[in-house]
Chain A
Amino acid sequence: MRPILLSGHERALTQVKYNSDGDIIFSVSKDHVICAWFSANGERLGTYHGHQGALWTVDVDSRTTLLASGGADNTLRLWEVKSGKLLKTWDFPTAIKRVEFSPDGTQLLAVMEKRSGHLGAIHVFDVNPDPEGEQTNEQSLRIVCDESKATVAGFSYLAKYIIAGHEDGSVTKYDAKSGEILHNIQVHEDDMQITDLQWAPDRTYFITSSKDKTAKLVSTNELEVLKSYTTDTPLNSAAITPVKDYVILGGGQAAMDVTTTSARQGKFEARFYHKIFMEEIGRVRGHFGPLNYVAVHPKGTGYCSGGEDGYVRVHHFDKPYFDFMYEVEREQAQASL
Chain B
Amino acid sequence: MASKLENNRRTDWAEDEDEEDPVALPPQQIIKNKDGTETIITWSIRDDGKRVKTTRRIRKTVVKQVVNPRVAEHKQWPKFGAEKGKPIGPQTDTTSVAENIAFRPTANWKAGTEDKGEQEKKKANLKDAKIKCRICSGDHWTTKCPFKDTMAPEGDPTPAETIDDVPESGSLGQGGSSYVPPHLRGRTGGAPTGEKMGGKYERDDLATLRVTNVSEFAEEQDLRDMFSRFGHVTRVFLAKDRDTGRAKGFAFVSFADRTDAAKACEKMDGFGYGHLILRVEFAKKAT
Contacts and interface: CB of A to CB of B under 8 A. Distances in A.
B66 interface: no
A49 B95 contact: no
Interface string B77-119: 1011111100011110111111111111111111001000000
Interface residues of B, number: 36
Interface stretch (B48-56, B67-75, B236-244): B67-75
A265 B179 CA distance: 51
A64 B74 contact: yes
Nearest to B101: A1
B177 to A, nearest CB: 50
Most buried by A among B105, B107, B110: B105
B98 A313 contact: yes
Contacts of A41: 89-90, 95
Contact of B91 (A43, A64, A84): A43
Interface string B104-145: 111111100100000000000000000000000000000000
Given A21-B68, A43-B89, A272 B94 contact: no
B95 A281 contact: no
A2 B109 contact: no
A24 B98 contact: no
A41 B79 CA distance: 15
A117 interface: no
Contact of A7 (B96, B100, B113): B96
Contacts of A37: 95
Contact of A45 (B68, B79, B105): B79
Q: Which of B67, B70, B83 has the most CB of A within 10 A?
A: B83
Contact of A321 (B75, B103, B108, B109): B103
Interface of B: 67-68, 70-71, 74-75, 77, 79-84, 88-91, 93-110, 113
30 contacts: A2-B101, A3-B98, A3-B101, A4-B95, A5-B95, A7-B94, A23-B74, A24-B74, A38-B75, A42-B94, A42-B96, A43-B91, A43-B95, A44-B79, A45-B83, A46-B80, A46-B83, A47-B80, A48-B81, A49-B81, A63-B70, A84-B81, A246-B105, A272-B105, A279-B107, A282-B106, A284-B103, A286-B101, A315-B101, A321-B105
